[in-house]
Chain A
Amino acid sequence: MTPVEISVEGFGPARDHLGSTPFALTVPEDAVVADAMRLLEGRNDDLATLLPRCAVAVGDEIVPLTHPLHAGDLVAVLPPVAGG
């Protein structure tokens, strides 16, 4: 199977770990959101602690961990929110 490239962008406190601009991540062809999260968890311990409390959006939609990923998807990591 051919790996596919997606883009990942961190928001809020996740920017401290993922940077403030989207970066490329290569995932297997049949990967779902959970697979991408596992790859990110390996980057550092603080991120691994934060990720289980993060929602994920693809485009303008919040998606479940089972959501399939496709080449070119922009995956946003959304930590706990505090508006208002």
Chain B
Amino acid sequence: MTRASAAEPRIQEGLLSLDALIAGTERPDCGALATFVGTVRDHNEGRAVTHLVYSAHVPVADKLIRAIELEVQEAHGVPVCRVVHRVGRLDIGDAAIIAVARAPHRAEAFDAARAVVEAVKHRVPIWKEEFFPDGTSEFVAGCSLVEEPDA
């Protein structure tokens, strides 16, 4: 099985592999592995969606995701937290983001997995453009990086 090394880019154009991320983060001292996979939905706010195009400022996004992983590891006391996000055209059902957290016990692993996904959604320069059956598209309204996330 392919293993995702720690140096692996956090922003990727190809299909994301949860198996590789799991294989690349194995730890004998952790009894809990929490995973999250965010997939493309066929609707948003009552409107049918045909596909999405994600884009990112790759250098900033990669750096910020790594910083968020470390921040969440520290805040939740977990030794492993890892996220990868896909960019480009994604079809319905494709994985857009995958996250893993490993910890000695499940509570911290669940909490860290959730926290890292929330932080990446709100604080990393990634944009989601939704395409509709009539051929039009719209960017999903997002969180401003110049305002404090909790403000």
Tell me the A residues contacting B by CB distance below 8 Å.
Answer: 11-13, 52-55, 57, 59-62, 76, 78-84
- Tell whether, in the assembled complex, residue B144 and residue A12 are in contact, meaning their CB atoms are under 8 Å apart: no
Minimum C-beta distance from A41 to chain B (A):
15
> How many CB-defined contacts (below 8 Å) exist between A and B?
88
The number of residues on chain B lying at the interface, defined by a beta carbon within 8 Å of a beta carbon of chain A, is 31
Determine whether the beta carbon of B123 is less than 8 Å from that of A81.
yes
Across-interface contacts of B128 in A (CB, < 8 A): 82-83
Is B126 an interface residue, CB under 8 A from the partner?
yes
Nearest Cβ distance between residue B99 and chain A, in whole angstroms? Answer: 9
Query: Interface on B for A, CB 8 Å cutoff?
Result: 38, 54-57, 59-60, 63, 85, 96-97, 117, 120-129, 139-147
> Which 10 residue pairs spanning A and B have beta carbons closest together?
A12-B127, A83-B126, A82-B142, A55-B145, A60-B59, A80-B142, A84-B121, A82-B140, A53-B144, A13-B139
